[in-house]
Structure 1
Amino acid sequence: MSRTLVILFSLGVGVCARVEANEATPCSRDGSAFLKLADNDQSTKPEVKPLPPLSSDPRVSLQMSGAIGAQDPAFDGVLGPPVDLEQVPAIKFLAGKGAKLLELGDAHGLRSVVARQGDEIMFFLITPDGQALVAGLESELSVGKLLTVARAQVSDLGAAHGLRTLFLRNGAEFQVLYATPDGERLIAGVMWDANGKNITRGQVSSVEGAAPTAVVGYDPRSGSSAAPASTLDLVQKTTFGLLGNQGAPRLWVFVDPLCTYSVRAMQELKPFVEQGLVQLALIPVSVLDYETGGRSTPTALALLAKPADEMAAAWSHRDFKNAEGPEVAARLRENMAAAAAIGLQGTPTLVWRKADGSEGRIDGMATDWKAVIASMGGNTHAGE
């Protein structure tokens, strides 16, 4: 999900609202909302166009001014704010997160709504029961055409809130597609229910290869008497990038390079790094392929191909050049295995050793970085 990373409004509990310590992690479990470029590299910024492209990517960024309304010819068919906002749970859910909503009409049995925050917009389709929504745009591809050209690569995941769900494999990558009620259009996107739960994540969790399944350390099914490895034991065996003073307390952070919250954590921790108060150990993993069209994996591989002292800079400058070779792939597999072993739910996930010797952990964004860093005390690198 090479874009930047600025959150504009929330898609549910723990999604883009402030994430409390120990809440579900936004990237992976709950998904993410708007992403946009956050650096000054003009050469890689998307071309500004007056109309949204007809693509499957739900995060369509437009540089616009003024209000979008029925009078705007670029949005012909927009009727205005939903009149039944309080009666449709999915629409009420969106409105409750501070977005300005406008109707785009009905097509192929689904209702379309655009949510706007500042100069960013995101398109949603409301499920027939009104209890969930899909972030995405309808493509021209029908179910019949998809099955004609790729039947052997398509699996049926059943229905979710009235929409047939198809799982399309494309080599090592995959895409979740939702069919409109008439079967004439497919939506490549992510579904949330009216409580902010990521339905897509649950649907793909049972598909082999779609989520980490490796086990590291103690496996009670094996009958081994070995004790389970601690979280700190596991993280120090990963491949990671270092940022900050070597003598500072170390904070281990599992990150998906395309996760909005991972980038936000990096930005919020940077002042503490510059003050010499903490050293970051950044552990790249790939948990957002199902939301990023398969781009999280090559991005993580690109970072893992860098030396430890160059990884953070490469991430900051979006130096995601292709990285090939079995050695780099093995690094990602090991990081994913460690993530699975600690029960990682998404990114960022923070791990550190406290001053009293115990382990600290937060799944998601910390609400008080100063308190986290203060709890580390002195020499708190894993293995010390």
Structure 2
Amino acid sequence: MTLPPLKRLLQGALLSTAVIAASVQAEDRPQAIQKLEERGVEVVESFEAPGGMTGYVGEMQGRSLAFYLTPDGDHVIIGTLMDKEGNNLSKARIDELLTGPKFEKAWSDIQDSHWVREGSEDADTVIYTFTDPNCPYCNRFHKQAQPWVEAGKVQLRHIMVGILKEDSLTKAATILGSENPEEAMHEHQASFAQGGIEVDRERVSAAHLEVKANNKLMQELGLQATPSTLYRGEDGKITMVQGLPNPQALERMMGPRP
């Protein structure tokens, strides 16, 4: 469709304004920060940090990071900033300014992904977790969650991915393409030490595209390990736990142990 000349002119003006604004914003940053950008760091937001420093959050190759400009404006410190009580100030800022908004924006895509339900449909807490059938930590997380699942307090939604081994995708598709995916998931987890569920080519054919779509979603979210677990906390904010949750994280996401 050809746009009217005036509309083309307006769109071109808006695009030019956006490009100029982005260029000016980048040029306004201290040279030490610009050098990071030249190395591939995408600066997302800045904030006031302790000790007179200016903090920044950004991404590089899909990974979130925090970095701090010293008061002289000539040096950048990359890494974790802790306070005297041992609190991780960097993670709090990354969650607030970067990962939280990113997962909030993608929440509908996470809900609409291809998952296997485990637990009661009426559970008060719904948790999404990216699960690879060859992941030993996913198997351990499944076992950890059973007291909450069996008590009807938590519903786990396993977003099946295939990334770890050559047969991960076919196993994930076998589970996802089963007539009763929840039963297939339990069968797989119960026999995990013996290799898990037997691949069924008919089921793989029915669900392999869904697993590939889940793989793509995981990549787009910048998640690099399984299990990667997301849930909406009591404060309404989305929290992500990457890897096997420790006992404290487990109770934060699922509530007191039944």
With the length of structure 1 as denominator, give the TM-score of the two structures.
0.35
- Tell me, in whole angstroms, the C-alpha distance in 1 between the residues paired with 2:198 and 2:158: 16
Given that residues 251 and 279 in structure 1 are in contact (C-alpha distance below 8 angstroms), is that contact kept between their aligned partners in structure 2?
Answer: yes
The one-letter code matched in structure 1 to 2:252 is A
AA matched with 1:247: D
| Matched pairs, number | 145
Query: Which segment drifts farther, 300-309 or 359-368?
Result: 300-309
Instruction: State yes or no: 1:297 paired with 2:169.
Output: yes
Q: Confirm whether residue 374 of structure 1 aligns to residue 255 of structure 2.
A: yes
Q: Does the residue aligned with 2:162 lie in a helix, a strand or coil?
A: coil
Instruction: Find out whether 1:267 has 2:143 as its counterpart.
Output: yes
Asked whether the equivalents of residues 227 and 243 of structure 2 are also in contact (C-alpha less than 8 Å), the reply is yes
Contact kept? 1:287, 1:346, Cα under 8 Å: no
Q: 1:272 to 1:264 in 2, by over 3 A?
A: same
Task: Mark the CA change 1:320 to 1:366 in structure 2 (over 3 Å): closer, same or farther.
Answer: same
Q: CA 1:322–1:364 in structure 2 vs 1: closer, same or farther (change >3 Å)?
A: same
1:355 aligned residue: 234
Determine the C-alpha separation between the residues in 2 that align with 1:255 and 1:242. Answer: 12
Pair 342,311 (structure 1): closer, same or farther in 2 beyond 3 Å: farther
Structure 2 partner of 1:233: 108
CA contact (8 A) 1:348 1:365 kept: yes
User: Contact between 2:170 and 2:208, CA under 8 Å: does it hold in 1?
Assistant: no
Give the distance between the partners of 2:187 and 2:201, measured in 1 at CA. 13
State how far apart, in whole Å, the 2-side matches of 1:228 and 1:269 are: 23
Distance across 1 between alignment mates of 2:200 and 2:135: 19
SS at match of 1:230: helix
Q: 1:232 to 1:310 in 2, by over 3 A?
A: farther
The residue matched to 1:310 in structure 2 has which SS? helix
Q: Which residue of 2 aligns with 1:341?
A: 220
Separation in 1 of the partners of 2:120 and 2:149? Answer: 7
**4+ residue runs of structure 1 moved beyond 6 angstroms?**
none
State the alpha-carbon separation in 1 of the partners of residues 208 and 161 from structure 2: 11
Residue 120 of structure 2 corresponds to residue 256 of structure 1: no
SS of alignment partner, residue 360 of structure 1: strand
The 5-angstrom pairing of residues 183-202 of structure 1 reads none
Cα distance in structure 1, aligned partners of 2:209 and 2:128: 20
Aligned mates of 1:229, 1:329 — CA distance in 2:
27
Quote the offset at 1:242 in angstroms. Answer: 0.8
**Paired residues for 1:1-384 under 5 Å:** 230-248=105-123, 249-289=125-165, 294-306=166-178, 307-317=180-190, 318-324=196-202, 326-367=205-246, 368=248, 369-374=250-255
Paired AA for residue 251 in structure 2 = K
Amino acid at match of 2:144: E
Alpha carbons of structure 1 residues 229 and 337: separation in structure 2 relative to 1, 3 Å: farther
SS in structure 2 at match of 1:316: helix
Alignment-derived partner of residue 93 in structure 2:
none
Change (3 A) 1:295 1:277: same
In the TM superposition, residue 305 of structure 1 has moved relative to its aligned partner by 1.0
- Structure 1 residues 333-363: Cα deviation after superposition (integer angstroms, max 9, x where no partner): 1111111121111100001111222101101
Cα-to-partner distance string for 1:279-306 (whole Å, 9 max, x where unaligned): 11011101112xxxx1212211211212
Distance 1:229 1:329, change over 3 A: farther
> Paired residue for 2:71?
none
**Secondary structure at the counterpart of residue 201 of structure 2:** coil
Alpha-carbon distance change, 268 to 229 in structure 1, aligned in 2, over 3 angstroms = closer
Q: Which residue of 1 aligns with 2:98?
A: none
Q: CA deviation at 1:257?
A: 0.7
Alpha-carbon distance in 1 for matches of 2:168, 2:182: 21
Residue 128 of structure 2 aligns with an amino acid whose one-letter code is: W
SS in 2 for 1:303: helix
8 Å CA contact 1:242, 1:312 repeated in 2: no
Q: Is the 8 A contact 2:175 2:181 kept in 1?
A: no
Does structure 2 conserve the Cα–Cα contact (< 8 Å) formed by 1:244 and 1:276?
yes
Paired amino acid for 2:119: G
SS at match of 1:254: strand
TM-score (norm 2): 0.51
